[in-house]
Amino acid sequence: MEFNIYKYFLFYFLIIFSVVGYGLFFSHITNTKNISKNFGYSGLLGLFFLTIYSYISNLILAHGLIHNSIILLLGIISYLYFIRKKVFRNKEILFIILIFIVLFLSVLIFKTHDDFPYYHFAYSYYLTQSSSYVGIGPFNHGFRTPSSIFYLNSLFYLPSIKYYMFHMPALLVMGFANIIFLNKIIKSIKNNNINFLTIYSLLSILFIDIFFYRIAEHGTDRSAQILVFVLLIEILLLINFSINDKNKLIKIYILIGLIISFKAFYFLYLLFFIPIVFYFFDKNNKFKIFSNLYNQFFVYLSLITICVIMTSLLNTGCLLYPVNTTCFENLQWSFSLEQVSHMNNWYEQWSKAGAGPNFRVENASEYIKYFNWVPNWMDMYFFNKVSDFILGLLCLTLVTFLSFYSNTRNKLRNCKILSVYLVLIILFLEWFYNHPSLRYGGYSLIAALIFLPSSIMIARNLNLMDKNLKNKFYILICIGFFIFIGRNIDRIKKEKTLYNYKPVEETFYELGDRHFLIQKEFDKTIKNFHLCKVKDPQCLKELNETITFSYGKYIFIQ
| Domain spans, the chain | 514-551
- Put simply, whether the predicted model's pTM sits higher than 0.85 gets the answer yes
Of 170, 160, 163, nearest to 126 by C-alpha is 163
* Model confidence at 44: pLDDT above 50: yes
Average pLDDT over residues 308-335: 91
Contacts of 450-454 with CB under 8 Å at 24 or more apart are 450/390, 450/393, 450/394, 450/397, 451/200, 451/203, 451/204, 451/207, 451/393, 451/397, 452/200, 452/232, 452/417, 452/420, 452/421, 452/424, 454/199, 454/203, 454/397, 454/400, 454/401
pLDDT at 466: 86
Of 202, 180, 182, 197, nearest to 240 by C-alpha is 197
pLDDT at 534: 58
State the Cα–Cα distance between residues 199 and 188, nearest whole angstrom: 10
pLDDT at 350: 93
Q: What share of the chain is helix, strand, coil (3-state, %, to 5)?
A: 70, 0, 25
pLDDT at 2: 57
* Model confidence at 542: pLDDT above 90: no
Average pLDDT over residues 26-31: 92
* Residue 310's pLDDT band (cuts 50, 70, 90): very high
* Model confidence at 220: pLDDT above 90: no
* Residue 36's pLDDT band (cuts 50, 70, 90): confident
pLDDT at 553: 45
Burial of 227 (0-12, 13-18, 19+ CB in 10 A): buried
State the Cα–Cα distance between residues 504 and 140, nearest whole angstrom: 34
* Model confidence at 284: pLDDT above 80: no
- 230 with 184: CB under 8 angstroms? no
* Model confidence at 418: pLDDT above 70: yes
Angle between helices 296-316 and 39-57 (to 10 degrees): 40
Report the share of the chain in percent with pLDDT over 70: 92
Computed over every residue of the chain, the mean pLDDT equals 89
State the Cα–Cα distance between residues 238 and 266, nearest whole angstrom: 22
**Among the ranges 84-88, 323-327, 472-476, which has the highest mean pLDDT value?**
472-476
Average pLDDT over residues 175-179: 97
* Model confidence at 544: pLDDT above 60: no
* Model confidence at 154: pLDDT above 90: yes
